[in-house]
């Protein structure tokens, strides 16, 4: 499939050269997983399918049962009908997202929702979720299976989702407002994002000097971002743990997972910049140009370069198509990362483009020429191979 979108993002000269062109992107299904141990993967998938009712509710908690299927809007988990998961019979665990064309078995569903398509990581997760101990082949064949009643599973998941949302809101309210003069401001400045150029710092960001990090079993400084749903209420928080450099300055902490989300955020976004109108997203007037980027730093880079635009972070690429926008916003720019050759990313972008276009909006795609780069790389002056540009 070919996706052709005319890029018309009005970036200033320091960023414009990297993205304004007729863009053609051809993707091909990746064969990266073909070397997997198919027997083990198949066994895991069958075991997941036996508990697909509970699994589907856990992975896609905002969906609903529709006959013999679990239905939701997409792999991001928002309400809707485009994605269907078979719950029983010979096709239990088989799913398809009719908006993006993605489909697969129960293990593929775990990979797509939680691990950006990485089946190896999905297998590790499945072994733990199924209670199979160390993941040996003998464990895969273990006759003992955890059985959870559907109604009890739904109740437990609802309670867990509520607990996480309450924890996210408590963390947000317990973290002082304002990031001026904090390590968050220094971290962003180190990424080329000088918030003082905007005149004020986004209210969606806060600094927590001592946030517990399970990976290292101790508190670390962190940037906290509010993820809000369509009503404007906080539904989750995004956490980026930070580390101070020996010579000064702040960077993302050297962790396996330095960025994590607390709470379910399907359809939500981080509202970083209100643009020329100065109006909140829910009451933004017609004529406001809205830019949606994946990551927080990418979105802030666009805000610094184009402060007249309303700028949002979708938090994850899989959530981009699910971001809820008011009907008044008719002009959308998706400021994408250049994940060249990544079929999963291509499909997710196409799903977002189709979704917003189907709502009667004008949708455009802006992508930097830097392979595997993003708009923060452009802001920092990197060239097409990702290296800093040097004066001639």
Provide the pLDDT for residue 155: 52
Provide the pLDDT for residue 21: 30
Q: Are residues 281 and 339 in the same domain?
A: yes
Provide the pLDDT for residue 77: 80
Q: Are residues 244 and 295 in the same domain?
A: yes
Provide the pLDDT for residue 107: 93
How far apart are alpha carbons 160 and 105 in whole angstroms?
Answer: 26
Neighbours of 93 (CB within 10 A): 24
If one counts the domains in the chain, the total is 2
Q: Is the dihedral of CA 175, 179, 183, 187 positive or negative?
A: positive
Provide the pLDDT for residue 385: 52
Residue 358 burial (10 A CB sphere; 0-12, 13-18, 19+): exposed
Task: Indicate whether 236 belongs to any domain.
Answer: yes
Specify whether the CB–CB gap between 364 and 8 falls below 8 A: yes
Q: What is the phi-psi region of residue 49: left when phi exceeds 0, alpha when psi lies from -120 to 50, beta otherwise?
A: alpha
How far apart are alpha carbons 96 and 109 in whole angstroms?
Answer: 9
Q: Are residues 14 and 61 in the same domain?
A: no
Q: Are residues 132 and 175 in the same domain?
A: no
Task: Indicate whether 96 belongs to any domain.
Answer: yes
Specify whether the CB–CB gap between 143 and 130 falls below 8 A: no
Q: Are residues 335 and 355 in the same domain?
A: yes
For the chain, what is the total number of helices (H) and then of strands (E)? Answer: 11, 17
pLDDT in tens, 334-364: 999 988 677 878 888 888 898 899 889 999 9
Task: Indicate whether 284 belongs to any domain.
Answer: yes
Domain extent at residue 289? 2-27+163-379
Q: Which of 148, 174, 193 is the last residue of a domain?
A: 148
Q: Which residues of the chain have pLDDT under 50?
A: 1-39, 134-151, 153-154, 386-392
How far apart are alpha carbons 90 and 87 in whole angstroms?
Answer: 9
Task: Indicate whether 392 belongs to any domain.
Answer: no
3-state SS assignment for residue 252: strand
Q: Are residues 72 and 186 in the same domain?
A: no
């Amino acid at each position: 499939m070919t996706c052709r979108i005319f890029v018309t993002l009005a970036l200033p000269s320091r960023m414009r050269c990297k993205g304004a062109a007729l863009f053609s992107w051809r993707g091909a299904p990746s064969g990266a997983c073909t070397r997997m141990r198919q027997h083990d993967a198949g066994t895991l998938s069958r075991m997941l399918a036996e508990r697909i009712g509970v699994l589907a509710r856990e992975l896609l908690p905002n969906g609903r049962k529709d006959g013999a299927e679990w239905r939701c809007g997409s792999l991001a988990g928002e309400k809707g009908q485009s994605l269907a998961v078979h719950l029983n019979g010979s096709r239990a665990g088989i799913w398809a997202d009719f908006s993006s064309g993605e489909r697969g078995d129960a293990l593929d569903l775990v990979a797509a929702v939680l691990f950006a398509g990485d089946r190896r990581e999905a297998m590790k997760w499945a072994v733990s979720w199924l209670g199979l101990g160390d993941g040996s082949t003998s464990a895969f064949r273990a006759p003992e299976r955890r059985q959870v009643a559907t109604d009890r599973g739904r109740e437990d998941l609802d309670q867990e989702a509520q607990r996480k949302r309450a924890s996210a809101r408590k963390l947000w309210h317990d973290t002082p407002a304002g990031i001026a003069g904090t390590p968050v401001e220094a971290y962003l400045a180190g990424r080329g994002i000088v918030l003082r150029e905007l005149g004020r710092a986004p209210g969606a960001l806060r600094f927590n000097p001592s946030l517990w990090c399970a990976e290292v079993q101790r508190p670390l400084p962190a940037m906290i971002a509010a993820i809000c749903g369509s009503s404007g209420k906080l539904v989750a928080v995004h956490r980026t743990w930070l580390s101070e450099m020996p010579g000064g300055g702040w960077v993302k902490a050297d962790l396996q997972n330095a960025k994590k989300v607390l709470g379910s955020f399907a359809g939500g976004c981080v509202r970083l910049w209100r643009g020329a109108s100065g109006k909140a997203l829910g009451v933004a007037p017609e004529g406001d140009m809205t830019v949606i980027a994946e990551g927080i730093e990418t979105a802030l880079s666009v805000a610094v370069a184009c402060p007249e635009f309303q700028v949002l972070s979708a938090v994850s690429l899989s959530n981009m198509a699910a971001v809820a926008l008011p009907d008044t916003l008719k002009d959308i720019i998706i400021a994408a990362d250049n994940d060249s050759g990544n079929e999963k990313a291509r499909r997710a972008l196409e799903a977002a483009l189709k979704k917003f276009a189907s709502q009667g909006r004008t949708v455009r795609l802006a992508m930097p020429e830097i392979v595997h780069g993003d708009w923060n790389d452009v802001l920092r002056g990197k060239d097409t191979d990702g290296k800093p540009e040097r004066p001639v």
